[in-house]
Structure 1
């Protein structure tokens, strides 16, 4: 089967420390410069720390477009429907197994004429919104690897990736087109599924895209080899060949250097 940063949340300033007995203030012995430096370090650390509950850093695409998701976008609606998800910049992120993962990305009204180069970082998204952008078309392979995508909103002038047959339902509303419920191209569709060789099976690879994956213990070219890949043998052979080539190259260079020294000596004595 094919294309993501965060807008840091505001934080309140840390509480001012209570004065010490006698009117002394913490850090007063180091002067104002020391106190200012300590405050700057604390502020920097607070900026670097993730928001409460964060278990990771969302993709760079979350901050690629200013502002939050627009009201009524498919991403905002989807995120509001999940109790384990929250909006972070233009992303809907969910927390699972102690870490964050991308669920949705809203790039609507971002003046996009082409998809961003880092678009592939959103391959785990379930919902995507590309509406209100001057997109002419979506290049082939743009959604390679987007196997989880179930809702994609695009400008009405843009066709759903993979065509309408790659989706269970395609509807239009206003100036937008909504592609819903990605179909599995390997489920009896001769038009979409590839002809896989023996010992290989078809696997989804994005809207209207699929790939052939070796089945069971088969591997190698056209899945003709069976059994576990001989990692130890491969590493030993590779190490032996590398050592032999290194020794041969070292000997050749040594003889060449010795020849140069001999020629230089003969010219000097002559």
Structure 2
């Protein structure tokens, strides 16, 4: 069933993409002398792409480094979650007003984050093993595992779930197999075929609706 819906989706015209990504939200290339540039040069499987360091294949690579320094940012770009696999991120020399608590949710691999000196490290200094200052920047290094530092977090998870890191100072509850569903109360294999079928049907319907709407607008005088 999943295969049929995937085939249908491949035959449909692609959905329009938002203009630009996090790698192109700031003009200029990746700075070779920056922490992100040095990290990118140290990896044989990575290459610069815009303001990003991307590892993997050209079409399916993941962002492992992000240099948005000196980009006149007053707030974090909407595409920041695209860099959730980043190991090194530089946000220095920007007039950022604040970093919301959940700004780096999902950034579980982040080991080095540089922010303007006026800002605190996401999650607070206790979320990092080392916090240092250098000139006008603050360097947050090596995330702590919040599940190891507080027994209280473990009690917040349902009986059949475990606590897992979800970014600086953030945690999440993951169901332990074979449990799944709401509060991990359902036991057994996840209904993958049913889920794929429903998801594929909804996606196909939305794609067709969007395609027909754009076609009518293009044909209108």
Sort the Cα spacing of 1:164 and 1:198 in 2 relative to 1 into closer, same or farther, 3 A: same
**Contact residue 124 and residue 149 of structure 1 kept, 8 A:** yes
Comparing 182-191 with 154-163, greater Cα deviation is found at 182-191
CA distance in structure 2 between the partners assigned to 1:230 and 1:100 by the alignment: 30
Sort the Cα spacing of 1:182 and 1:210 in 2 relative to 1 into closer, same or farther, 3 A: same
Residue 190 of structure 1 and its aligned partner are, at CA, apart by 3.8
RMSD: 2.6
TM-score, normalized by length of structure 2?
A: 0.73
Q: Hey, what does 2:127 align to over in structure 1?
A: 166
**Contact residue 193 and residue 210 of structure 1 kept, 8 A:** no
CA distance in structure 1 between the partners assigned to 2:141 and 2:154 by the alignment: 20
User: Which protein has the larger Cα radius of gyration, Structure 1 or Structure 2?
Assistant: 1
Is residue 64 from structure 1 mapped to residue 64 from structure 2 by the alignment?
no
Residue 100 of structure 1 and its aligned partner are, at CA, apart by 2.1
TM-score, normalized by length of structure 1?
A: 0.60
Sort the Cα spacing of 1:229 and 1:70 in 2 relative to 1 into closer, same or farther, 3 A: closer
Residue 88 of structure 1 and its aligned partner are, at CA, apart by 1.5
**Contact residue 185 and residue 193 of structure 1 kept, 8 A:** no
**Contact residue 75 and residue 106 of structure 1 kept, 8 A:** yes
Residue 231 of structure 1 and its aligned partner are, at CA, apart by 6.1
Structure 1: gaps of 5 or more residues: 1-58, 239-270
Match among 149, 167, 173 for residue 206 of structure 1: 167
* Count of residues paired in the alignment: 179
Is residue 151 from structure 1 mapped to residue 112 from structure 2 by the alignment?
yes
Sort the Cα spacing of 1:232 and 1:147 in 2 relative to 1 into closer, same or farther, 3 A: closer
**Contact residue 153 and residue 163 of structure 2 kept, 8 A:** no
Structure 2: gaps of 5 or more residues: 1-19, 199-221
SS in 2 for 1:187: helix
Runs of 4+ more than 3 Å apart: 96-99, 190-194, 229-235
Q: Hey, what does 2:157 align to over in structure 1?
A: 196
**Contact residue 194 and residue 212 of structure 1 kept, 8 A:** no
